[in-house]
Chain A
Amino acid sequence: MNEAMEMLSFGIRIAEPFIALVVVIMCFYSLRGGRREEKALIVLEDAENESTYPVIYWENSIGRSKSSDIRISDPTVSRDHAVLLRRNDGWFVADTGSRSGVYVNGERTVGRSPVGVGDIISCGSTSLVLRRAADMGVKTPQKEKKTVPQALILICIMLYMSLLTLQGVINTGKPDIVLPAAAFTAVMWIFYAVSRAVFKRRNFELESLALLLSGTGIMLAAAHDMKNGMTQTAAMVLGIVIYLFMLWFLEIPDRVMKWTVAISVLTLLLLASTLVLGRSLHGAKNWIIIGPVSVQPSEFAKIAYIFAGASTLDVLQTKKSLASFIAVSGISVGLLVLMSDFGTGVIFFVSFLMIAFMRSGDIKTVILAVTAAVLGVLVMLSAKPYIADRFSAWGHVWEYADDTGYQQVRSLIYSASGGLFGVGLSDGYLQYLFASENDLVFCLICEELGCIIALLCAAVIGGMMIYSRGVTTRSRSTFYSIAACTAGGMLVFQSALNIFGVTDILPLTGVTLPFVSYGGTSMAACWGLISFIKAADERTYARHIPKTKKRRPEKTEPEYVEV
């Protein structure tokens, strides 16, 4: 490699993190700026004393309980009396097992019944009249939403990918890497076009973030072996198809709810079939091999598991028991342990805790579950003490540099060798280690692309979670809120296991880094997981709103409401 080329490669390495940083900042700025303002959608007016209750959310609990969204201080109202919810075809009220029942215009309701403007909803001795927000003086400021042109984000990603490609070509001296990069870019633009034209979705921030991570992973894989880069790109296409299908399926929460039992059973069948048919690769018996394709069904089981746990507010408030969900979770974790897939097992368990707490707010269940898990682990360790050997090097890997700490020691050394900007694609040494592109990928990025990009990748996943939490009250149903938080939490927890395992902060468990790690199933499943986050974004399903609406400020009726 001559000097000029070397300098060019060096310059590119310094530029890349800044472009990646710009992409990440634009995406999160736009995600945040595009969120719905939390103003009243409709207003409930007390028929007797004219006090008003603004209805802010898509699903609102009505009751005497302090934590109710619409709190009525009336002793005849139950603690969790009813749920007032909004769907595409209007507003509904659902009795959630109240003692005195829910009446609409004097008629007792069973299950969900539609309510419109002027209708009187009676709970206990309180009667509430449904009013338009505008009629009650709630202003709808037509404030400009702070978003970024989505195509600009994509152009930046394209620039980032071009620089990676150029660097790859210079460093490897072979043009091979252009192929997966070109394929990636084509897929990205087609995905964007389909998303806009077919599904009428104007926002593409979350997808852009996932594309940035996927692209980084594809280039790392391609720099070491072009074929791997192509496989990874194909997996991303599969992931995008799953993602789009999931978004279609998730559109109507009540339809999804009808499927949850079936999906729960599917989760268990998926895991059970893996246990029976699965082959053992690298320690864990979690692979199913069909011809040339090998898949890890447990990755997809993660998606299915979220369906089993998330729920709309009226169902949450009616069926408070966690028994069936605990059963599904317990069996799932048990099956995963039997497969020796401890990494996924731990992820399932943490997801269980997240869902169980978000559903019930019951800290006792959580403590009980954690206690049971700790006991379970202790029993397992005493029965099979060799498992503890896997953790023997934890915290002092340097003493086990050629033994159980082998991977961590090399990972740390090579992370340090990369500095802020890396030594360049395919110029590193960590790539020669086993599992460098999946278990050790964080340190591989540190070495070859520098720790700024590595940290950005981690920050993107953390940011997705923070965003998921930011939209919990803005989403169209608690189903989405719970699902998005759990999916985000899963991704964060999995990233933590991956990154901190290899850097000797947590014991190593060998899970993948979402989107970035080489591995088709993992890539596809991660796209599936973020569809829950996308579904929680209210704008995702806003396509039926005519564009002209914006130009008619005199019509102050809240968007989407067809009452």
Chain B
Amino acid sequence: MRNTRSRSFPVLMLTLAFFAGLIYFMVNLVTHASEWASMPYNGHLSDSTGLEYAGEIKDKNGVVLAYSKDGKRLYNEDEEIRRACLHVVGDDSVNISTAIQTMYRSDLSGYNFVFGLGMPDSLKKGGDITLTIDSEVQRAALRALGDYRGAAIVYNYKTGDILCLASTPTYDPMNKPEDIETNEAYEGAYLNRAVSATYAPGSTFKLVTAQAALEKDSEAYKREYDCTGGTEIGGREINCYEVSGHIDMFGALRESCNAYFAELTVELGRDAMTAQAQKCGFGKRWKFDGITTATSVYDVSKADENEFAWSGVGQYTVLECPMNMAIRTSAIANGGVCVIPELISKMDSSLADKLRSDGKSSPERMMSQQTAEKLKEMMDDTAANYYGKDYLCPELDICAKTGTAEISDDGTAHAWVTGFSTDEDCPLAFAVIVERGNSGYQVAIPAASAILSAAARSYRS
């Protein structure tokens, strides 16, 4: 019988493997439980379930944006603030996937590993979350965007703190419109356009093309060209808005000359353009504080010569997420290295705080310091000599580039502006998109200007 016993050893091994598997599962459960429980599929936390006793969400000045009282989830008493902060804070549902109340619902609801979500209501104590945003800047953004759809991002390119992350259309989380699913005015209201949408970047992409040229040859800004209001590449037209005459790269960026940058694009070639776009965040998703941005796209592998030329001025099929634009602009402001934004400044749960920093993208060098300085000079020149610094924002010293990205042949276009302030006490990078705004200069700049003024007040008061 001894034989039988020794031959039963493999069966014992099977059992030990079974126990090892159970331990493995437990380790997995302990380390991931909070993350798993926060998944939007969790029925315990869907709709208002799980928020009845949840903690507070505050802005950087301690203004309470959301809190729970008597088993009810309530939001800031000011309706305008509620609408302005909707996409950051979230509502009772889990429809806005990048909202704090969706991503951190289990932490807000006081989830802990020992009791899971099974604590009696009277013992529940939700964790609080403090954000980096300023609700007044959010309000300014909501007003600036007005009836337009669009998004605005303002963040500190030294610390990464997001001061403004606004998206329209929006709604009041305390009085959710009943016709939200059917009314066209609310189309895409659940989307935070600042991080989850992509648009044709238009002329703002000329910064990438200029960067590609400067990275290849630091003297490239001297390149001269005679603009006659357009040129022909690959048998088809590349047209400009105006006739710029004899210009160098400074002039071309200032006057946003399509012909100059189209010729430059073709000269640089597809590989260099693609490589530079990738350096600027195209083709990747940025991750911070649980948010994963939409992927910006620069793919010219199937483009013909003319289409490739258009890609260099942000047309063709080029698509960019507003957050990516803000991040690549931060690299110009910051000597070539981009800054990863942050939305949460403080969390009660230390474990969640740790997990939050684990998944964060790391800052990358997008261009050399020399290139960054040159682009900064050009954007400064464009702001000072073309847009007008006072028009941009009288309180701050702004460097900027607009974009008017055509989306149909009748001239409808998205209006963009991106840039940064050079003020020591207010180091802010920004990107603003106004859908169908038709003119970066006439629509996007005034919107950005109002938001930046509010941001300056936030920092200086």
Contact = CB atoms under 8 A, between A and B. Distances in A.
Interface of A: 3, 6-7, 9-10, 13, 57-61, 67, 69, 313, 350, 353-354, 357-359, 361, 401, 409-410, 412-424, 427, 429, 432, 450-451, 455, 458-459, 462, 465-466, 469, 472-473, 475, 478, 481-482, 485-486, 488-489, 492-493, 495-496, 499-500, 503, 505
Contact of A417 (B11, B44, B121): B44
17 contacts: A350-B14, A415-B29, A417-B117, A419-B33, A458-B18, A462-B18, A465-B15, A466-B12, A473-B1, A481-B4, A481-B5, A485-B8, A489-B11, A492-B15, A496-B14, A499-B25, A505-B25
B116 A419 contact: yes
B29 A465 contact: no
Contact of A413 (B8, B15, B39): B39
B125 interface: no
Nearest to A58: B1
Given A419-B113, A473-B1, A489-B14, A496 B21 contact: yes
A505 B21 contact: yes
Given A427-B118, A500-B21, 4 more contacts: A3-B122, A419-B114, A424-B118, A499-B25
A423 B117 contact: yes
B24 A505 contact: yes
Interface in B13-29: 14-15, 17-19, 21-22, 24-26, 28-29
A148 to B, nearest CB: 23
B456 interface: no
B408 interface: no
> Which residue, A59, A417, A485, has most C-beta atoms of chain B within 10 A?
A417
Contact of A67 (B6, B35, B114, B119): B6
A413 B41 contact: yes
B295 interface: no
Secondary structure of the B contact surface, majority rule: helix
A272 B117 CA distance: 48
Contacts of B34: 416
Given A419-B118, A423-B44, A451 B29 contact: yes
Nearest to B19: A462
Interface bin, chain B: 35 or more
A413 B116 contact: no
Given A358-B4, A418-B116, A495-B18, A500 B11 contact: no
Contacts of A69: 1-3
Given A455-B26, A469-B12, A505-B24, A59 B43 contact: no
A13 B14 CA distance: 32
B116 A422 contact: yes
Contact of B8 (A415, A419, A422, A469): A469
A505 to B, nearest CB: 6
A419 B117 contact: yes
B215 to A, nearest CB: 36
A413 B42 contact: yes
Given A358-B4, A409-B41, A420 B120 contact: no
Given A416-B116, A417-B42, A417-B44, A361 B3 contact: yes
A466 B117 CA distance: 35
Contact of A496 (B8, B18, B114): B18
A421 B1 contact: no
Contacts of A496: 14, 17-18, 21
Nearest to B113: A419
A9 B122 CA distance: 13
Nearest to B37: A416
A503 B36 CA distance: 12
A228 B452 CA distance: 64
Contact of B25 (A427, A488, A503): A503
Contacts of A495: 18
A7 B30 CA distance: 25
A420 B111 CA distance: 12
B278 interface: no
B5 A469 contact: yes
A-B pairs with lowest CB-CB distance, top 6: A419-B116, A429-B43, A423-B118, A416-B36, A416-B33, A57-B1
A391 B1 CA distance: 41
Nearest to B121: A6
B32 interface: yes
Contact of A458 (B4, B22, B42, B118): B22
Given A69-B1, A354-B10, A488-B11, A420 B114 contact: yes
A28 B41 CA distance: 40
Contact of A422 (B42, B112, B118, B123): B118
A115 B251 CA distance: 114
Contacts, number: 176
B44 A429 contact: yes
B32 A416 contact: yes
Interface in B88-113: 111-113
A481 B42 CA distance: 46
Contacts of A458: 18, 22
Contacts of B111: 417
Contact of B15 (A357, A466, A500): A466
A481 B18 contact: no
Nearest to B35: A416
B41 A410 contact: yes
Contacts of A451: 26, 29
Contacts of B41: 401, 409-410, 413
Given A422-B116, A472-B5, A416 B29 contact: yes
A61 B36 contact: no
A478 B26 contact: no
A499 B22 contact: yes
Contacts of A505: 21, 24-25
Contacts of B36: 412-413, 415-416
B25 A420 contact: no
Contacts of A503: 25, 28
Contacts of B15: 462, 465-466, 469, 488-489, 492
Nearest to A411: B36
Contact of A492 (B18, B26, B42): B18
Given A485-B8, A499-B22, A503-B25, A409 B116 contact: no
A6 B122 contact: yes
B354 interface: no
A534 B24 CA distance: 31
B1 A313 contact: yes
Interface string B25-63: 110110011111101011110000000000000000000
B21 to A, nearest CB: 5
Contacts of A417: 37, 42, 44, 111, 116-118
B460 interface: no
Given A422-B116, A492-B18, A465 B11 contact: yes
B164 to A, nearest CB: 31
A465 B11 CA distance: 8
Contacts of B120: 3, 6-7, 9-10
A424 B116 CA distance: 11
B236 interface: no
B302 interface: no
B11 A61 contact: no
Contacts of A499: 21-22, 25
B321 to A, nearest CB: 21
A59 B1 contact: yes
A466 B14 CA distance: 10
Contacts of A429: 42-44
Contacts of A472: 1, 4-5, 8
B106 to A, nearest CB: 8
A486 B8 CA distance: 9
A415 B25 CA distance: 11
B37 A413 contact: yes
A496 B25 CA distance: 11
A361 B7 CA distance: 6
A34 B34 CA distance: 44
